[in-house]
Structure 1
């Protein structure tokens, strides 16, 4: 049994997959396996995966019908044989000490989840460093509930993203047995949005012990054309499905009453993301009136109205208060105008 299984979902990334794998195979730590999950690629990615597999005993390639990122990761989880599992997206890469650092920490102090930081890279230039906002150290069940879960369920402060809970699956190492024991898997991004956040949310609700480090181990290629920079279709419907699933999990683990404000803050943040998704499409054959109408429709949603009423909104910045009250009073035209002015 390898100590670490590295799951790499692959879909149409022929320009990047070699860089990703070489960042893993070039490490000093050797007790690992790499699972390349070709998710029905239509370019040469699948062929490249097969060629890479021939050169390394640690690399295994699997081909499957296209099902999306969540489907590929879940497939990898079923095949993983390692004691711990990590996820690396095929267009990203890792630091030289990625595997060794994870091994040293988890071998010395076994935990359910190890959280670490990442750095953005844009046009081959190192950018913003992002680490979990909580202090470094090992958190047991009670501390997870008091110190980590509130910021994982909802933003610490609405409309302020300086404190990052780091809910990406690519910034965590997980105990494989822990994930399987608690039936934690990814929900398809074709059904919901923020499948990483939901996966980690579920994991944190179940975890008995979590370690947090501010060490940077992951390099995220933030480039034009990436999913995070695209207009998202059917975002409202998928966000609503997401927050329903959050609620179901909080009810399942009987903690909804303890985290009600945080939950509704997450709902408000989700609807605000839908609004910025519409506003961000300004100038792409879409007129002010059309976008304002879309935003007004979001603000009229009963789930949005309920969330604005019940969320935590007594600690906002001036900018936060402005956004909150514009949303509460459905001032869609003002929201769109302000967004365009701020971005323009």
Structure 2
């Protein structure tokens, strides 16, 4: 049996479509665990109505404590051999669960592609090359070869419940960013077999007609720094387990440790948390990272230079300009490419 865990919070507009897509699955041996995380709209009522219709659906109502706590609650309640996470505003194709082929391929971890929906159309998609990895060396090779390292979403995957529970794996409830990616990396460190499908049946809503997912939230310096530190620990654990080369290690370190720390610095500047500024100046003066794009290179040049005064104010101006430009360019690209890049599979 597959335990499907869905955190629910104020998604009355999307929840029925999500649950209906599960009810319509060709694979039927599942339980659905809906964790109502203190919704103040009709989401909790919708959960209860579906639970009355199908005894495979269980509902837990709790106070609002965040998506990590909700997912962890679901893990505790899960009774299936496998766990599957789905976001409440997304949905899945009819063969999504069946395509993992759990009756044919006995594995510790199952990995699939996804479809990215914009304005109710498939805007783009990601598929992988089908591969069964029978040991850690093969897992490591595919991790880099197929860029699995960039896919830190909890959805689009099947996890073995026993591995999660035996190793007390949980989502970090103190983080609201990268907690899912850290969880996925941690899970990788406990597996010996991996099945990568060549299917894409998970529909992730990039944003809808309201522009709902274009968030401008800036996470705190402390939280982003903590995420960087967590990535450092798990990457070093993977290095020991997988015998990762120095080149591969440097790649992971720059993407998940250094870049997250640079994001922390960005938040420090934009949120004007000046009390940490000297600490960051000292950190980057000791760090040899030169930046992966022109924007990062400019920021680091200003930060390390002995010729600039009022570095904090100058960094604030630069990051404010970058933030506005990034948001404008993202919207512009979506609108321009929507029709040409929408596809039917």
Quick check: TM above 0.5?
Answer: yes
Partner of 1:199: 183
1:40-51 → structure 2 map (5 Å cutoff): 40-51=38-49
Asked whether the 8 Å contact 1:136–1:212 carries over to 2, the reply is yes
Q: Determine which of 86, 89, 97 is the counterpart of 1:88.
A: 86
The alignment's TM-score, normalised by the length of structure 2, stands at 0.77
Q: Once the 2 structures are TM-superposed, how far is the Cα of residue 233 of structure 1 from its aligned partner?
A: 3.8
How far, CA to CA, are the matches of 1:274 and 1:228 in structure 2? 22
Gaps of 5+ in 1: 157-162, 279-289, 314-319
Q: Which runs of 5+ in 2 are unaligned?
A: 304-314, 330-345
Kept in 2: contact 1:95–1:217 (CA 8 A): yes
- The CA deviation at 1:305 is 5.0
- Pairwise CA distance, 1:141: 0.6
Q: Trace 1:94-243 onto structure 2 (pairs within 5 A).
A: 94-102=92-100, 105-131=101-127, 135-139=129-133, 140-148=135-143, 165-188=150-173, 190-223=174-207, 229-243=214-228
Q: Tell me, in whole angstroms, the C-alpha distance in 2 between the residues paired with 1:83 and 1:234.
A: 35
Q: Is 1:24 the equivalent of 2:18?
A: no
Change (3 A) 1:249 1:339: closer
Alpha-carbon shift at residue 200 of structure 1 (Å): 0.4
How many residues end up aligned between the 2 structures?
308
Q: What TM-score do you get using the length of structure 1 for normalisation? A: 0.78
Give me the whole-angstrom Cα distance separating, in 1, the residues matched to 2:319 and 2:61. 46
For residue 36 of structure 1, report the CA deviation from its aligned partner: 0.8
Q: Structure 1's 183 and 326: CA in aligned 2 closer, same or farther, altered over 3 A?
A: same
Shift of 1:222: 1.9
Structure 2 partner of 1:56? 54
Q: Secondary structure at the match of 2:207?
A: coil
**Pair 1:183–1:306, CA change in 2 (3 A):** farther
Specify the SS of the correspondent of 1:98: coil
